[in-house]
Structure 1
Amino acid sequence: MSEPQEEPEAPPKKASKLPLLLGILLGLAGAGGGFYATWSGLILGTDPHENAAPEAQKAPSADVAYVAVEPLVVSLRGAGQNQHLKFRAHLETSPESQPEVEKLLPRVTDVLNSYLRALEVADIEDPAALTRLRAQMLRRVQVVTGQGHVNDLLIMEFVLN
């Protein structure tokens, strides 16, 4: 007897890659659209250039007065070295606030002197130290003078001997 012949099996169909490619393409398009909508302010309602450079957007005001702070010379704690810091600054204020700030100059000098004396030489030697120290001193001056009286602290001299 003869054996029944086996029919050749059809090879399994390969899964189509079309749905995968369409999914990736639609995902990229959605991500790009979402990025653009957020960046342009359509979703969150912010201007992308609003926070780009706040210093560049501020126009210098003509209504500014400067109050000079007495020069300070403080000795700094160091590793067996006796070093001195010479500091001179001006306070930027509005012309209306200038008399009030001038009345409080002894307190401002005291708070700056106390802060600078607490520093160590290592605190000053860091390249980014001046920006950090300036922000700390401005905050202390604003606490002493009251909110809204002093806009900025301008460092005129900062010399370590």
Structure 2
Amino acid sequence: MKPHPRLWHWLFEAGVAVKASLGGLEALAGLGLLLTPNALVLRLVGWLTHFEIAEDPSDRLASYVQHIATIFPVGVQHFYGVYLALHGGLKLGIMILLWMRKLWAYPLAMVILALFVVYEGTEWLRDGSPFLAVLAVFDLFMIGLVWKEWRALKPEPAHP
């Protein structure tokens, strides 16, 4: 049985909402990193993890987060701040254009999502992170939904 076009449209809208929300959060996190002094980041990590370490000194996640915070120099913080702000802002902007049904944004969105897939795929091959694999699969699915939505919105050429 073939899925109904309204289901595809609903999946497209839901995917755009998820991508826009994550893009907005990512951009805000980047701006937060850019605007927050490095010492404050270190104190925040210490405050967030010290109760867990006191309760369980062998807690791997809390220990790892504390370790990462100690090797988080200002230059690295600024790099991640700029990266997250630009990456999230780009994602949010593209999703807003799709919500506005700007036809030229659909091919652009597919290209940008394909570039994200290439990046996520290469990082996944390097690190083996299942999270990156899930992101890549979701972005591939989004490319398919954007394609399907674009084809549905694109006006048919007039035949003489």
TM-score by length of 1: 0.24
Report the structure, 1 or 2, having the larger strand content: 1
Higher relative contact order (CA 8 A, sep 6+): 2
Report the structure, 1 or 2, having the larger helix content: 2
TM-score by length of 2: 0.24
